[in-house]
Amino acid sequence: MKFTLNKKLSTALSVISIAYLIMAYQLPEYTLVPVDSDVIPKILGYILLFLSIILFFLKDEEKKEASLPRKEIGMLLGTAVLILFYIFLLEIVGFIIMTTLFIFVSSRFYGYKKYITNGIVSIGFSVAMYLLFNELLLVRLPSGWLPL
């Protein structure tokens, strides 16, 4: 049996999903809630395991080595750096400022040139999500430098 790329990926994903499921089953259970906090992680773990099993049995077409263009690799790495900056600065700077900057910079990075539209969407989305989580869902997001 030849170990194709699909089989390698599905094996790795199966190991990840099993480890994820083990951690999901260690989440504490609460008796007073109709849907417990461990339901969604367990569902996602089983979906990943199921899809990795399907991937294992899919026929992998043998073809020439597919290579990503240099520009796409740069865009992926740039996005990864932006995400890391977002994660590390979120608590310090705050949700609204960091999310606005992240959306604005990543949109510009991917080639969107309308600065005014980009700014309005970035600010509007960030403020809307902040209000949704803090006021309606009562999930506190970091306010950071803003006195909220």
The rounded distance, in Å, linking the Cα atoms of 66 and 136 is 47
Backbone angles phi, psi at 28, to 5 degrees: -70, 145
Instruction: List the structure tokens of 22.
Output: 């083990």
- What pLDDT shows up at residue 143? 85
For 45-65, the pLDDT digits (tens) are 999 999 999 999 988 766 555
Quick one: average pLDDT of 102-111? 93
Residue 22 in contact with residue 12, Cβ under 8 Å? no
Quick one: average pLDDT of 83-99? 93
At residue 73 the predicted structure's pLDDT band, cuts being 50, 70 and 90, is confident
Within 8 A by CB and 6+ apart from 146, the residues are: 94, 96, 97
Query: What predicted TM-score, i.e. pTM, was given to this entire model?
Result: 0.61
